[in-house]
């Protein structure tokens, strides 16, 4: 939701960063890998209890994730790049969830439910993207919904910052994912059953 509504606010910085990286001779897939490695460093930081470092690295990784897409659109996007981008995004998110789950094993059951809800929601998202005839500036159709990447990062951030309330924020994230899944299914029926 935030990604769709507020894109115009951060897009100038994203475009400028993409232009700088391209002038430096970097390719979008290289930037994707860098963002992924920073995201993994975020998960490790969280696991070892360096929460603020992990939080900062998570958001740097997320910003880089937007830059690589802008770079791809300014050059020749690769289908493999799309696969790297989308799959690495999920690994970073799951990395943070696993780091918290292993650090706080009493919340493991909620983390498993959250992971399952993310898996289901992403499955709907990717399937609709693959079968939809809708066109967007991205390499496949992106369904808008309550929880897009920024909402996920905000909820992960709350989980990282407020570990004393980890179970509450994990269940809140789970609830948001369930609403998102229902929205995406409803939206899929509208655009695919024409």
CATH for 26: 1.20.120.1760
Interval 115-143: pLDDT, tens: 999 999 989 888 887 787 766 556 566 66
pLDDT of residue 6: 65
Interval 7-44: pLDDT, tens: 667 788 888 999 999 999 999 999 999 999 999 999 99
> Among candidates 87, 90, 78, 83, which has minimal Cα distance to 27?
78
Between 187 and 39, the more confident residue is 39
> Among candidates 114, 100, 3, 118, which has minimal Cα distance to 44?
100
Burial classification of residue 164, based on how many CB atoms lie within 10 Å of its CB (0-12 exposed, 13-18 middle, 19 or more buried): exposed
pLDDT of residue 175: 96
The continuous run of DSSP H or E covering 157 comes out as helix 149-161
The parent domain of residue 78 ranges over 2-192
Residue numbers annotated as active site: 89
pTM, two decimal places: 0.88
Say how many domains are in the chain: 1
| Residue whose tokens read 């507020």 | 6
Q: Is 194 helix (H, G, I), strand (E, B) or coil?
A: coil
> Among candidates 174, 186, 67, which has minimal Cα distance to 124?
186
User: How far, in Å, CA of 111 to CA of 107, rounded?
Assistant: 6
Long-range contacts of 132-135 (CB under 8 A, 24+ apart): 132/191, 132/192, 134/191
Q: Which DSSP letter does residue 139 get?
A: S
Q: Are 111 and 97 in contact (CB under 8 A)?
A: yes
């Amino acid at each position: 939701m935030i990604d769709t509504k507020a894109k115009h606010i951060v897009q100038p910085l994203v475009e400028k960063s993409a232009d700088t990286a391209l002038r430096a001779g970097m390719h979008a897939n290289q930037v994707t890998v860098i963002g992924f490695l920073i995201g993994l460093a975020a998960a490790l930081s969280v696991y070892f209890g360096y929460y603020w470092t992990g939080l900062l690295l998570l958001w740097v990784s997320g910003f880089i994730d937007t830059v690589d897409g802008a770079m791809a659109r300014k050059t020749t996007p690769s289908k493999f790049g799309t696969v790297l981008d989308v799959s690495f995004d999920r690994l970073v998110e799951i990395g943070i969830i696993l780091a918290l789950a292993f650090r706080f094993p009493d919340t493991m059951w909620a983390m498993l439910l959250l992971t399952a809800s993310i898996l289901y929601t992403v499955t709907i998202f990717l399937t609709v993207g693959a079968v939809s005839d809708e066109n967007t500036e991205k390499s496949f159709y992106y369904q808008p919904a309550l929880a897009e990447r920024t909402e996920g990062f905000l909820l992960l951030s709350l989980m990282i910052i407020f570990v004393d309330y980890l179970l509450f924020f994990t269940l809140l994230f789970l609830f948001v994912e369930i609403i998102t899944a229902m929205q995406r299914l409803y939206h899929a029926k509208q655009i695919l059953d024409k």
